[in-house]
């Protein structure tokens, strides 16, 4: 298969703007991560933020001077600084966005360097809001927050629940720097020209499965597979960042925990548990993406395996030779009982040569009854289970398209584009096919 080099943030111009919330102490971690990802980063701090996080630290981590309020009308600048920064940035990351800065932004105030930059910029803005829970719940703050989300190019990152600096528990924590980095990467993963902030999944509900399922043999042993869950989780986050309401049903995952923030998560262990949640959720969603790697075998229900004790090694062969059954095909079951207009994307992890993969993939698509099936080879180095990259073929009704090996986040956006193309067919936006 072809491989497409995946470095979405490399060489991109990112302006990190820090306002006066205690969450500003986390911003240096974000700046460091963005620089390591290859981005060109500049930082801007409000006067309140400069009391919480060192401008020198931000300058050191970004390899560039950190701008503050006193720089706004520096006579050595040939252009007004707020215009210069607004024109320079391809993406602005407000991390954190405080109640004060939110108020100025929502009301169109140019009081201060950050406020002026936000009025002058024409690039997307990733807004990670943070404040005390009572402040966040205040009607004025909620009104301002709703208003800025109507501005072109704004991608909101909601505050997260947890223990706040004021010792209160509730919503108010800034999104984790790992999630903010993922969101920035996502905006640059939809094309090569620049960040795309269009919320084209807004108003749609997506159900995603991810990770392996686990079937116990006894209290110590289990049957599972090598899936990390990254493909499904990134698909879910990519859809959420495009405006979708996303429910994620997942087995045990091997991904950074912050990647799950703002998703409606339903952790499960066995295929039966996953099937039960899917049956409860199916009727309420517009599309389903079955990225989970469901285990193929399970013990026939003869009691609670978890309390049956650990089998002796000498008895293990007997334990494994009898009392097992195939796990029902969850994807096929979903397709058989889906409501009208619901779209289903399936995944098939296969091995073999290209022609064999396509033949077996098409057989699976027809048998399972899904609208789209993504076939990915897992026997090739550098892609598939446990890897950062993935690629394969997307199969539809009478067509197939090769999706070159790339980052899983970029692949997630291609799959979301394909689902949208099925829902909104037009001469200008069909799913391109190789045959």
What is the spatial distance between Cα 385 and Cα 244, in angstroms, rounded to a whole number? 26
What residue numbers bound the domain in which 357 lies? 205-423
- CB-CB contact of 61 with 35 (8 Å): yes
Burial category of 2 from C-beta neighbours within 10 Å (exposed 0-12, middle 13-18, buried 19 and up): exposed
Do residue 239 and residue 346 come from a single domain? yes
Do residue 259 and residue 140 come from a single domain? no
435 domain residue, yes or no: no
Do residue 291 and residue 392 come from a single domain? yes
Q: Residue 1 has what pLDDT?
A: 67
β 343-350/287-290 pair status: parallel
Domain count, the chain: 2
289 domain residue, yes or no: yes
Structure tokens at 395: 């199969």
What is the spatial distance between Cα 352 and Cα 240, in angstroms, rounded to a whole number? 34
Structure tokens at 74: 């520096």
Report pTM. Answer: 0.91
CB atoms within 10 A of CB 398: 8
- CB-CB contact of 144 with 109 (8 Å): no
Do residue 215 and residue 345 come from a single domain? yes
pLDDT band for position 218 (50/70/90)? confident
Q: What is the CATH number of the domain that holds 212?
A: 3.40.50.10300
- Return all residues near 386 (Cβ < 8 A) that are at least 6 apart: 226, 227, 228, 254
196 domain residue, yes or no: no
Do residue 159 and residue 255 come from a single domain? no
Do residue 125 and residue 220 come from a single domain? no
What is the spatial distance between Cα 79 and Cα 408, in angstroms, rounded to a whole number? 41
Do residue 183 and residue 213 come from a single domain? no
Segment 338-364, tens digit of pLDDT: 999 999 999 998 888 989 999 999 999
Cis peptide bond upstream of 96, omega within 30 = yes
Coil, strand, or helix at residue 323? Answer: coil
- CB-CB contact of 53 with 98 (8 Å): no
Q: What is the dihedral of CA 402, 405, 410, 411, to 10 degrees?
A: 50
Structure tokens at 352: 């073999």
Do residue 222 and residue 158 come from a single domain? no
Q: Residue 306 has what pLDDT?
A: 57
User: Residues with catalytic annotation?
Assistant: 166
pLDDT band for position 299 (50/70/90)? confident
- 60 sits in which H/E element: helix 55-62
Do residue 176 and residue 209 come from a single domain? no
- Nearest CA to 159 among 18, 21, 15? 21
Q: What is the mean pLDDT of the segment spanning 117-130?
A: 97
Q: Residue 258 has what pLDDT?
A: 95
pLDDT band for position 430 (50/70/90)? very low
Higher per-residue pLDDT: 256 or 191: 256
Structure tokens at 273: 């548990």
5 domain residue, yes or no: no
Segment 349-403, tens digit of pLDDT: 888 898 999 999 999 999 999 999 999 988 888 887 888 899 999 999 989 999 9
Q: What DSSP character marks residue 10? A: T
- 91 sits in which H/E element: strand 91-97
Do residue 256 and residue 386 come from a single domain? yes
Return the percent helix, strand and coil in the chain, to nearest 5: 35, 25, 40
Percent of the chain scored above 90 by pLDDT? 75
Decide if pLDDT at 313 tops 80: no
Do residue 116 and residue 244 come from a single domain? no
Decide if pLDDT at 104 tops 50: yes
CB atoms within 10 A of CB 198: 14
Pure H helices in 63-176? 81-88, 99-106, 113-120, 133-137, 139-148
Q: What is the mean pLDDT of the segment spanning 168-192?
A: 94
Q: What is the CATH number of the domain that holds 54?
A: 3.40.50.1950
Coil, strand, or helix at residue 11? Answer: coil
Residue 369 CA, distance from chain mean position? 27
Q: What is the dihedral of CA 52, 58, 61, 62, to 10 degrees?
A: 150
């Amino acid at each position: 298969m072809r491989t497409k080099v995946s470095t979405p943030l490399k060489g991109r111009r990112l302006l990190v703007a820090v306002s006066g919330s205690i969450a500003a102490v986390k911003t240096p971690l974000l700046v460091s991560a963005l620089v390591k990802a290859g981005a060109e980063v500049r930082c801007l701090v409000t006067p309140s933020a400069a009391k919480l996080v060192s401008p020198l630290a931000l300058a050191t981590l970004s390899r560039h001077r950190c701008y503050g309020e006193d720089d706004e009308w520096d006579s050595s600048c040939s252009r007004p600084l707020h215009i210069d920064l607004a024109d320079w940035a391809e993406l602005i990351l407000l991390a954190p966005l405080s109640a004060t800065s939110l108020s100025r932004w929502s009301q169109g105030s140019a009081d201060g360097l950050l406020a002026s930059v936000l009025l002058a910029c024409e690039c997307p803005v990733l807004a990670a809001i943070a404040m005390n829970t009572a402040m966040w719940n205040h009607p004025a703050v909620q009104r301002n927050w709703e208003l800025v989300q109507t501005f072109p190019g704004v991608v909101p990152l909601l505050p997260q629940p947890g223990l706040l600096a004021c010792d209160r528990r509730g919503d108010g924590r800034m999104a984790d720097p790992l999630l903010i980095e993922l969101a920035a990467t996502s905006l640059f993963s939809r094309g090569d020209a620049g960040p795309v902030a269009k919320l084209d999944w807004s108003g749609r509900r997506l159900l995603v499965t991810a990770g392996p399922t686990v079937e116990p043999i006894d209290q110590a042993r289990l049957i599972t597979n090598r899936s990390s869950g990254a493909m499904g989780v990134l698909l879910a986050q990519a859809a959420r960042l495009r405006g979708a309401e996303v429910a994620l049903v997942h087995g045990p995952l091997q991904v950074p925990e912050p990647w799950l923030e703002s998703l409606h998560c339903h952790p499960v262990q066995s295929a039966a548990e996953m099937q039960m949640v899917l049956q409860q959720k199916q009727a309420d969603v517009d599309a389903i993406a079955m990225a989970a790697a469901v285990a193929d075998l399970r013990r026939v229900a003869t009691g609670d395996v978890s309390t049956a004790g650990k089998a002796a090694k000498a008895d293990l062969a007997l334990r494994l030779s009898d009392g097992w059954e195939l796990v029902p095909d969850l994807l096929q079951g979903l397709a058989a009982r889906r409501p009208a207009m619901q779209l289903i994307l399936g995944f098939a992890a296969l091995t073999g040569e290209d022609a064999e993969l396509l033949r077996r993939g098409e057989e699976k698509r027809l048998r399972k009854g899904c609208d789209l099936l993504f076939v990915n080879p897992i026997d090739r180095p550098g892609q598939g289970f446990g890897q950062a990259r993935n690629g394969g073929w997307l199969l539809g009704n009478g067509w197939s398209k090769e999706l070159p090996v790339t980052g899983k986040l970029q692949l997630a956006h291609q799959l979301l584009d394909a689902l949208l193309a099925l829902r909104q067919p037009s001469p200008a936006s069909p799913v391109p096919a190789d045959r």
